[in-house]
Amino acid sequence: MSDNNRGPGKDPDNKPGFDLNKNNKFALFFLISLIIMFFVLFLVNDRGAGTEIPYSTFMNYLESGQITAVKIYDNKTIQGTMQGPTGQNTIFDTDIPYFDDFLMEKLRTNNVIIEGAESSAGAATIFIQIIPWVIGFAFIWFMLRQMQGGGNKAFSFGKSKAKRYNQNDKKVTFDDVAGQAEAKYELQEVVDFLQNPEKFQKLGARVPKGVLLVGMPGTGKTLLAKAAAGEAGVNFFHMSGSDFVEMFVGVGASRVRDLFDQGRKNAPCILFIDELDAVGRTRGAGYGGGHDEREQTLNQMLVEMDGFDTKEGVMILAATNRPDVLDPALLRPGRFDRQVVVDMPDLNERLAILNIHVQKVKIKKNVSLDKIARSTPGTSGADLANLVNEAALFAGRHGRNEVSSQDFEEARDKILLGVARKSRMISPEEKVATAWHEAGHALLHYHLEYADPLHKVTVIPHGQALGLALSLPEKDTYSKRRGWLLDRIKITMGGYVAENIKYGETTTGTKNDIEQATMIARRMITEWGMSEKIGFVSYGAEDEPIFIGKEIAQHKDYSEETAKMIDSEIQAVLSRCLKETERILTDNKDQLEKLAEALVTEETLDDDRIRVLLELGPAVKQYEEDN
């Protein structure tokens, strides 16, 4: 479900720069005049009207006195009129094959009326000579259209490709955006200003020209910008930063100019530049260095932003998920001087987003959106919109007329973990081994103090994984305690330990688990200061992707000795956790076996089922008291 489909209807007649209908009419007109010209030329030209006869036959007719008149063209062709025996006139043509000295004499002795004429082929010849040019121009014109991509934007290279949404289109409002209270609050000011500019001007307040929405993809930046326009009831121009970038130098800059012109003409309005980082990267940082096309485009944007007054009633919103790479000039006062952070949704916001999107589908009454929200930490609004849609598709595929919780489960697993691959062939032995492995992960949830409750465990393959054990955090936490992290490491080790208990050896299926456990242990020590020996210090850098143009490389900023110490600390944490895990699983081997067997037969077990199997009693649900 992309934002394009959801937005208000597009307005093709308002495409700036070029009008599709006018263009087609022009082409049609051109074609018709061409055809008419063709016919006129052939009608006016009376040559070609007669039958073509050989020169010798012509001579015979001439000598028998049947020819009454001739017209000689350029000494090359003769058009003649011949009177037949019954008195009717026939027109004929003949070519003169050689220079005939006696032709004139013969014509005169036979009393033929002689006329000379310029070759009237002239017009036709010119016409024929024009044709390649016409075709050539038509071809170039066609190529230009193709290069424009849209097919209807010939001669509009320098025009902005902004999509325009009108005041009277179906509106998106802040009610369509769940959560994002701070962002809405900031944007409300933009809305107030667009509706009531005098109020602010009277106060002498300087209203921000541009607001930059900063947030991860899918968090609703585009949606918020549209909603702001909808709330203010003004026109909305939407353009992506990458639309400015074209292969010809100067095109981007002229598109920027055009976009701002459009904005001024249609004030009050909101200009929205999505993915600003596509044009707004720090200057002089690219490969080519110097003044490239992108830099010129950015300069033009800075000039335009400086050059107009908020009094004109034009507000510029932009969105990016890489504010750190933006050119600092863009963020100076008078340009994008206000930044609004659009966060990933937390638990309550996820619930609210789900609530908005399930309005569009029919769901069963017993579906717990709360449970879905809790089981989707780290997902964006776009993911959740997609999840609801996928669930509806699953319901359709299963022939249900209401979306059930099973459909939501399936959709969630598909989005978070890849599609369940029920059809993949797994040998019975492999299935048993997977069951033991997953049972090892799952059982630890019931024996560790700080672990999140288990959501479900399955031996149905998902994506690359043979099986899964999913936990269900009770709420989103942004900081984790040491105890939770250690328990997380132990849970990760559960598969490995269980395989060892059952078979006395392990499989390659433990690779990811080992990586994950090691990663947590390393970060505990090098980033979070959770080791007593090493203490309060940060080693190594963030895992942020490196972008060419800013940092070029990262340095290892510690000595060999420290490296050794870090390694031995990681070792110590991991081996302590492994011992503890081994102790728990061997002490409860009967439970482990029960779980593994149940997994082989039932394939998927949820928390409730496991509690019944292991006779544990119902779970204490904290989160219901919390909310």
**Beta-carbon count within 10 A of 275 CB:** 20
* φ, ψ (nearest 5 deg) of residue 483: -60, -40
Closer Cβ to Zn ion, 59 or 514, answer by number: 514
Partner from Mg ion, ligand ADP, Zn ion, none contacting 178, C-beta within 5 to 8 A by type: ligand ADP
Which residue has its beta carbon closest to Mg ion? Answer: 222
| Annotated catalytic residue 474 | no
262-321 binders of ligand ADP (CB under 6 A): 319
- What's the CA gap between 336 and 326, in Å, rounded? 11
Stretch that binds ligand ADP, among 171-179, 204-212, 246-254, 333-341 (CB under 6 A): 171-179
Among 407, 513, 569, 580, contact with Zn ion (rule: CB under 5 A): 513
Question: Minimum distance from CB of 258 to ligand ADP (Å)?
Answer: 23
Cα 620 to chain center, whole Å?
A: 44
How many C-beta neighbours within 10 Å does residue 316 have?
27
- For ligand ADP, what does the binding mask look like between residues 2 and 41, x meaning CB under 6 A? -x--x-----------------------------------
Nearer to ligand ADP, 224 or 367 (CB): 224
Rounded CA-CA distance 75/116 in Å is 8
User: Applying CB under 6 A, which part among 150-158, 211-219, 230-238, 428-436 lies near ligand ADP?
Assistant: 211-219
The whole-angstrom separation of Cα 123 and Cα 46 is 12
Residue from 80, 179, 323, 509 touching ligand ADP (CB under 6 A): that is 179
Burial class (CB in 10 A: 0-12, 13-18, 19+), 533: exposed
Dihedral (C-alpha) 440, 441, 442, 446: value to the nearest 10 degrees? 90
Q: Which of positions 365-384 make contact with ligand ADP (CB under 6 A)?
A: 381-382
Binding-site member from 79, 222, 434, 581 for Mg ion (CB under 5 A): 222
Query: Which one of 148, 222, 310, 581 is in contact with ligand ADP (CB under 6 A)?
Result: 222
Contact segment (CB under 5 A) with Mg ion among 215-223, 411-419, 516-524, 566-574 equals 215-223
Stretch that binds Mg ion, among 26-34, 74-82, 221-229, 526-534 (CB under 5 A): 221-229
25 backbone φψ class: left, alpha, beta (φ>0; ψ -120 to 50):
alpha
Distances (CA, A) of 124 to 37, 120, 121, 306, 603: 10, 8, 5, 59, 84
Catalytic one of 390, 409, 438, 569: 438
Residues 6+ apart with CB under 8 A from 24: none
Please tell me whether residue 569 binds Zn ion under the rule CB under 5 A.
no
Q: Does residue 379 contact residue 216 with C-beta atoms inside 8 Å?
A: no
Q: How far apart are CA 217 and CA 237, in angstroms?
A: 20
Q: Which residue among 71, 153, 221, 490 contacts ligand ADP (CB under 6 A)?
A: 221
Residue count at the site for ligand ADP (CB under 6 A)?
21
**For Zn ion, which is the closer residue by CB, 237 or 496?**
496
What gap in Å lies between CA 542 and CA 544, rounded to an integer? 5
Ordered alpha helix ranges (H), 473-588:
482-503, 511-526, 560-587
Which of 94, 219, 262, 297 binds ligand ADP (CB under 6 A)? It is: 219
Cα angle 587, 590, 593; round to 5: 120
Among 191, 347, 495, 610, binds Zn ion (CB under 5 A): 495
In this chain, which of 79, 156, 160, 180 binds ligand ADP, going by CB under 6 A?
180
d(CA 582, CA 212): 52
Q: How far is CA 622 from CA 151, 473, 475, 478, 625, in A?
A: 59, 11, 10, 18, 6
Q: Which amino acid is at 299?
A: N
The window from 106-114, 213-221, 556-564, 598-606 that contacts ligand ADP (CB under 6 A) reads: 213-221
Residues that bind ligand ADP (CB under 6 A): 1, 3, 6, 177-180, 215, 217-223, 319, 353, 356, 381-382, 385
Catalytic residues: 438
Residues that bind Mg ion (CB under 5 A): 222
Residues that bind Zn ion (CB under 5 A): 495, 513
